[in-house]
Amino acid sequence: MLFNSAVFIAGFLPVVLLGFFLFAGTGRQRLAGLWLTLASLVFYGWWDPHYVPLLLASMTANYLLGGYLLKHPSRAVLVLGIAGNLLLLGYYKYTGFLLGSIDQAFGLDWTVPNIILPLAISFFTFQQIAYLSDAHDGAVVEHDFLNYCLFITFFPHLIAGPITHHREMLSQFSNPDNFRPRFDNISVGATLFVLGLFKKVVFADPMGAEAAPVFAAAAEGARLGLLDAWGGALSYTLQIYFDFSGYTDMAIGLGLLFGISLPPNFDSPYKSRNVIEYWSRWHMTLTRFLTAYVYNPVVMRITRARAAAGKPLPRRGKMTFGTFLALVAWPTVLTMFISGVWHGAGWQFVAFGLLHGFYLVAAHAWRAWKARTGRPLDSDNWLKNAVAILFTFLCINVAMVFFRAPHLEGALNLLGGMAGLNGVTLPPSIAGLPVVGAVARALGIGAEPGVFFRPMLGLHIALLLAIVWGLPNTQQFMRHYRTALNWRPRVSWLQPVLPFATWRPSAAFGVVIGLVGFYALARAFSAAPTEFLYFQF
Length of the chain: 537
The Cα 334–Cα 331 span in angstroms is 5
- Give catalytic status of residue 343 as yes or no: yes
Instruction: Name the phi and psi angles at 142, rounded to 5.
Output: -140, 140
Q: How far is CA 466 from CA 63, 66, 81, 462, in A?
A: 47, 48, 47, 6
Strand (E) positions, 335-451? Answer: 425-426, 446-447
Non-local (6+) Cβ contacts of 88 within 8 A are 58, 121, 125
Closest alpha carbon to 129 in 165, 75, 93, 172: 165
* Strand, helix or coil for residue 446: strand
* Largest Cα–Cα separation, the chain: 78
Which residue of the set 136, 165, 343, 364 is catalytic?
Answer: 343
> CB atoms < 10 A from the CB of 522, how many?
10
Burial classification of residue 318, based on how many CB atoms lie within 10 Å of its CB (0-12 exposed, 13-18 middle, 19 or more buried): exposed
The Cα 469–Cα 481 span in angstroms is 23
Strands 425-426 and 446-447, sheet pairing: parallel
Would you call the peptide bond into 162 cis, given omega within 30 degrees of 0 as the criterion? yes
- Residue 310 region by backbone torsions, left for phi larger than 0, else alpha for psi between -120 and 50, else beta: left
In our burial notation (b when 16+ CB lie closer than 10 A, e otherwise), range 452-481 reads: bbbeebbebbeebbeebeebbbbbbbbbee
Positions marked catalytic: 343
